[in-house]
Amino acid sequence: MQGSGACRTGLAAALVLVLALVSALWAQPGAAQGSLAAQARLLGDESAISASRTHLQVDLALSQPVPYRMRLLAAPPRLVVDLNTVDWGAGALAGSGNGIKAQRLGHLPDGWARMVLDLAAPYLPETAEQKVDPATGQARIALRFRRVTLEEFETSAQSESALVAQTGAALLHPDKGASAPAPARRPVVMLDPGHGGIDPGAERSGVREADLVLDFARILREVLLRRGVFDVALTREEDVFVSLDGRIRAARAARADLFVSLHADALPEGMASGTVVYTLGDEASDDSAAYLAERHDRADMLAGVDLAGNTDEIARVLMAVAWQDTAPRARALAEALVAGVGEAGLRLHRRPVQSGAFTVLRAVDMPSVLIELGFMSNPRDLAALRDPEWHSLMADALAAALEAWWQDDLALEGLRRQ
């Protein structure tokens, strides 16, 4: 490892900290109180940008605290600050020094307010904080940056395409006004309702897993599309058999950014209950994971799909360089989903994050998880799995968790690309 490793790690931590600060502020009852009641205003007289040869300071005074996020974009160097939601008022902020070539203020289609600063030189963040004056309720966002080399900047700045994919291209280019943002490609979630056709999956009390997970996938798609962060594709839209390889191929064809397989299996011992999220592992984390992985492969064999050499393929794949990148992202995705389900008060398996040699999860370049929503072999789970209200709670929880993971994943992207 090079000597600069610690520094870069510190920077990544700082970027993540920015996102964390947003939620920490929001969690303070005093700070959040009343802040949704009226739109925040920029207090132009008390806001300023100042740049020197070594440092850049951005101070934004606001009539009340707001959630915010910031990104640095390379080629050319730009600082993007998004505030939710702020009235920019009269226009340009007062500035001093020659570190800023241009500033653009506007709004994103989803209501966030965006400020883009074209930087004359590369800077990276040192600190970012939002402080609230308890007497007036006014807030001040103070962002501090230090001058760095272009090389250092470019390894840490986010790619423009990632930001555009997430929030659109508004104001990122001087010649494109906020009024006509370029249509952005949203990240694509591939939802994979398990089983189907000749393979009904688990069956209990007249309910077939294949039907249940297809119904749930449609509900989750609806929720995700309504929330507007992701586009959604399904590996199957009806009761048909799709091979495990076919499901991965479908995800690639849709240029999916992540893959979520949905199941509600039964286990012979009838002991498992609650939601569990699996990632690909070379060894099963327990007997039931091994059983489930084997059982899901068996349907392919019955359908005449050749899985010969499958185990070798997984072993080979696990050594691949791409997997080093994808495995921690898939693990973080599984943890985010489990956290979301837990926060929604829905029941989790006693070991909610597990791994197994699931063929359907072996795309090395796409974070993939398999969710057992619950186990049909457990009476309490089966009742939940048949309850429309539970479907809606679960879909909301998973959608919010997918978005939270995507945010974190984007924030870490710069670090991963090194």
Write out the residues near Zn ion by the rule CB under 5 A: 194, 201, 263, 265
Tell me whether residue 257 or residue 265 sits nearer to Zn ion (CB atom).
265
Tell me whether residue 194 or residue 414 sits nearer to Zn ion (CB atom).
194
Q: How many CB atoms lie within 10 A of CB 175?
A: 4
Can you point out the beta strands (E) in 337-414? 348-356, 368-372
Asked if residue 189 lies in contact with residue 260, where contact means CB atoms within 8 angstroms, the answer is yes
Tell me whether residue 203 or residue 325 sits nearer to Zn ion (CB atom).
203
Q: How far is the CB of 232 from Zn ion (least distance, A)?
A: 20
Q: How far is the CB of 371 from Zn ion (least distance, A)?
A: 10
- Kindly report the CA angle at 147 between 142 and 153, in degrees rounded to 5? 100
Radius of gyration for the chain, computed over Cα atoms and rounded to the nearest angstrom: 24
Tell me whether residue 31 or residue 266 sits nearer to Zn ion (CB atom).
266
Tell me whether residue 194 or residue 367 sits nearer to Zn ion (CB atom).
194
Q: How far is the CB of 130 from Zn ion (least distance, A)?
A: 45
Q: How far is the CB of 342 from Zn ion (least distance, A)?
A: 22
Distances 312 to 81, 233, 291, 315 between C-alpha atoms, Å: 47, 30, 18, 5
Tell me whether residue 99 or residue 274 sits nearer to Zn ion (CB atom).
274
Rounded to whole angstroms, how far apart are CA atoms 125 and 131?
17
The end-to-end CA distance of the chain, in Å, is: 12
Residue 124 belongs to what H/E stretch? strand 123-132
Task: Quickly list DSSP for 275-306.
Answer: EEEEEE-SS-SSHHHHHHHHHHHHHHHHTT--
Residue nearest to Zn ion (CB): 263
Q: How far is the CB of 229 from Zn ion (least distance, A)?
A: 27
Q: How far is the CB of 190 from Zn ion (least distance, A)?
A: 17
Q: How far is the CB of 209 from Zn ion (least distance, A)?
A: 5
Q: How far is the CB of 304 from Zn ion (least distance, A)?
A: 19
Please classify residue 90 by burial: count the beta carbons closer than 10 Å to its beta carbon, then call 0-12 exposed, 13-18 middle and 19+ buried: exposed
Phi/psi of residue 284, each to 5°? -70, 140
Which structure tokens are listed for 109?
């289609």
Tell me whether residue 233 or residue 267 sits nearer to Zn ion (CB atom).
267
Q: How far is the CB of 266 from Zn ion (least distance, A)?
A: 9
Give Cβ neighbours of residue 293 (< 8 Å, ≥ 6 apart).
Answer: 284, 356, 357, 358, 359
Give Cβ neighbours of residue 183 (< 8 Å, ≥ 6 apart).
Answer: none
Tell me whether residue 95 or residue 200 sits nearer to Zn ion (CB atom).
200
Helices (H), ranges, 198-286: 209-227, 244-253
Provide the 8-state DSSP code for 361.
G
Tell me whether residue 265 or residue 297 sits nearer to Zn ion (CB atom).
265
Tell me whether residue 249 or residue 295 sits nearer to Zn ion (CB atom).
295
Q: How far is the CB of 246 from Zn ion (least distance, A)?
A: 16
Which of 258, 305, 291, 281 shows the shortest CA–CA distance to 375? 291
